[in-house]
């Protein structure tokens, strides 16, 4: 059962279409694993529907319906064909960004036994996948802004609680935390930050110069 | 198992909890009781309209009914255009996006599930995505409803279709009862597609205030859309 969810403000902006790509990626991946937030986003989309209904009608350019009617025959009603694989660990839309599932992630060492893979998104935020070996800590860090962490496999815990698959930690800039991966399984998560992570120790700061984190 | 709807909207008489206290309205949870019939005349009119749109979409999906499509177009295209104009789109592109949205409605009609969304909600989502595709360099990553990794809801609802239609009517009612400043924040977010920072700039307010107004609005809207078991 998922215990940790993103803030309502993120769900609202996601529904409105005003949330940037990296954040939307994390929210969409959480939605795949969390029926509760899927409901909330559906609810938020109703707001869009109601506002659409309430918007005063504009006049369409003359003949636009007729034009469209002639185009309908070239655009037949789609028939539905599912193309998804039979099983998957990583939810969509994440697999699309990686070009595959867990086994296809091109991990790069990020020091301290941890690995990361930067995802290419077109907004200013940074989305990355992190791999923390079981029982190991992520170097202690604060962040310059908001940070979302979605657990995809394994678990971690920090001062604020324990996080398993599907759980999302929604942390603001004030939280300095030391997540530690749970025992028994490596922890793989998706992290989104709107500023580079700032490690608080001296040695990690040197490491930080060499790896893009 | 009885599924009782929880109507948790502010009463129509305009009494609100003190926003500063962060208090959410008390839950009017009455397991087993019928939802309140406030404003029932309006509600039933909305319901008729909603059912009508659902029926039109059904006809398009089943028999490629062009007359049904024309009816749907007459209602929605001028409103989509209006929404696009309010989002700052030029009239020519707004017209085009309204047409493209309706073309998508035609092509995707078989994906419409009246149990999950009201027609206007579904069409809003299509228009929103087309606009992002057209103007934004960034993508909007989407959930895949057929993803094998998707965790399904624990219990399907007893009467899904009624539920979705009811939800739209409830959101409408609740939006009307929001204090003006909360409603403006919601509108700027949905109708003008502004980010929280942009809303803060527009209204000359601190970012935290904008976030808390949106959160407060949603905290009133959201419980209405839940089923309590
Ligand atoms: Zn959730």
Do residue B105 and residue B57 come from a single domain? Answer: yes
Range of the domain at B173: 162-229
pLDDT in tens, B104-147: 999 999 889 887 778 999 999 999 999 888 877 778 888 888 88
Same domain, yes or no: B115 and B170: no
Cβ contacts (< 8 Å) between B110 and chain A: which residues? 77-80
* Range picked from B24-38, B48-62, B100-114 for highest mean pLDDT: B100-114
pLDDT in tens, A45-64: 888 988 888 888 999 999 99
Domain residues for the domain of A105 are 1-56+89-213
**Domain for residue A148, yes or no?**
yes
B56: confidence class by pLDDT, cuts 50, 70, 90: very high
- Write the CATH number for B120: 1.10.1740.10
Kindly report the CATH number assigned to the domain that includes residue B170: 1.10.10.10
Contacts of A45 in chain B (CB under 8 A): 117, 121, 124-125
Chain B residue closest to A81 (CA)?
Answer: B146
Q: For the segment A12-35, what is each residue's pLDDT rounded down to a tens digit? A: 889 988 888 999 999 999 999 999
Q: Do the domain assignments include residue B173?
A: yes
Instruction: Specify if B169 maps to a domain.
Output: yes
pLDDT greater than 80 at residue A161: yes
Residues B108 and B71 placed together within one structural domain of the fold: yes
Q: Which residues contact A98 (CB under 8 A, 6 or more apart)?
A: A90, A104, A105, A117, A119, A129
Lowest mean pLDDT, pick from B11-15, B119-123, B183-187 = B11-15
Residue A190 sits in a domain whose CATH number is: 2.60.120.10
B60: in domain: yes
Q: Say if residue B120 is in the same domain as residue B173.
A: no
Q: How far is B143 from chain A (nearest CA, A)?
A: 5
Residues B176 and B96 in one domain: no
Candidates A39, A45, A88; nearest CB to B121: A45
Q: Which of residues 13-52 of B touch A (CB under 8 A)?
A: none
Domain boundary among the residues B108, B139, B170 is at B139
* A vs B: CB pairs below 8 A: 240
User: Does the pLDDT value for residue A145 go beyond 90?
Assistant: no
Q: Does B134 touch chain A (CB under 8 A)?
A: no
Closest chain B residue to A2 measured between Cα atoms? B151
Q: Regarding predicted confidence, which is higher, B211 or A108? A: A108
Total domain count for chain B?
2
The predicted-structure confidence for A104-131, as pLDDT tens digits, reads as follows 999 999 888 899 999 998 888 889 999 9
Q: How far is the CA of A110 from the centre of ligand 1 (A)?
A: 29
B146 to chain A, any CB pair closer than 8 A? The answer is yes
């Amino acid at each position: 059962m998922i215990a940790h969810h993103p803030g309502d403000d993120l769900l609202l902006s996601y529904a409105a279409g005003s949330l940037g790509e990296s954040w939307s990626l994390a929210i969409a991946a959480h939605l795949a694993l969390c029926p509760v937030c899927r409901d909330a986003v559906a609810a938020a989309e109703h707001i869009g529907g109601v506002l659409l209904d309430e918007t005063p009608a504009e006049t369409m350019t003359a003949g636009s319906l007729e034009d469209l009617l002639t185009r309908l025959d070239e655009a037949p009603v789609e028939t539905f064909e599912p193309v998804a694989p039979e099983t998957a660990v990583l939810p969509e839309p994440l697999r699309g960004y990686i070009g595959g599932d867990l086994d296809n992630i091109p991990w790069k060492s990020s020091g301290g036994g941890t690995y990361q893979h930067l995802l290419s998104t077109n907004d200013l935020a940074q989305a990355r996948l992190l791999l923390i070996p079981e029982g190991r800590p992520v170097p202690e860090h604060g962040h310059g802004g908001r940070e979302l962490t979605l657990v995809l496999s394994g678990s971690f815990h920090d001062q604020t609680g324990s996080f398993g698959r599907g759980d999302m930690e929604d942390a603001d800039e004030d939280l300095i935390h030391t997540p530690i991966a749970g025992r028994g399984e490596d922890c793989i998560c998706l992290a989104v930050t709107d500023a580079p992570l700032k490690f608080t120790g001296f040695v990690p700061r040197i490491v930080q110069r060499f790896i893009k984190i | 198992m009885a599924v009782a709807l929880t109507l948790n909207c502010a009463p129509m008489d305009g009494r609100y909890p003190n926003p500063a206290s962060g208090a959410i309205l008390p839950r009017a949870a009455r397991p087993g009781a019928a939802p309140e019939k406030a404003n029932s005349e309006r509600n039933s009119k909305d319901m008729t309209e909603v059912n009508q749109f659902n029926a039109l979409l059904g006809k398009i999906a089943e028999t490629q009914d062009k007359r049904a499509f024309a009816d749907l177009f007459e209602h929605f295209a001028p409103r989509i255009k209006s929404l696009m104009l309010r989002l700052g789109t030029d009239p020519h592109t707004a017209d085009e996006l309204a047409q493209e949205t309706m073309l998508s409605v035609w092509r995707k009609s078989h994906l419409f599930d009246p149990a999950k969304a009201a027609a206007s909600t579904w069409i809003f989502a299509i228009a929103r995505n087309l606009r992002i595709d057209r103007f934004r360099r960034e993508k909007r990553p989407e959930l895949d409803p057929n993803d094998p990794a998707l965790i399904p809801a624990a219990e399907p609802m007893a009467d899904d279709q009624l539920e979705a239609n009811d939800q739209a009517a409830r959101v409408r009612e609740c939006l009307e009862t929001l204090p003006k400043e909360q409603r403006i924040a919601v509108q700027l977010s949905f109708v003008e597609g502004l980010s929280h920072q942009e809303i803060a700039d527009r209204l000359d307010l601190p970012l935290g205030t904008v976030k808390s107004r949106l959160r407060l609005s949603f905290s009133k809207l959201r419980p209405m859309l839940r089923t309590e078991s």
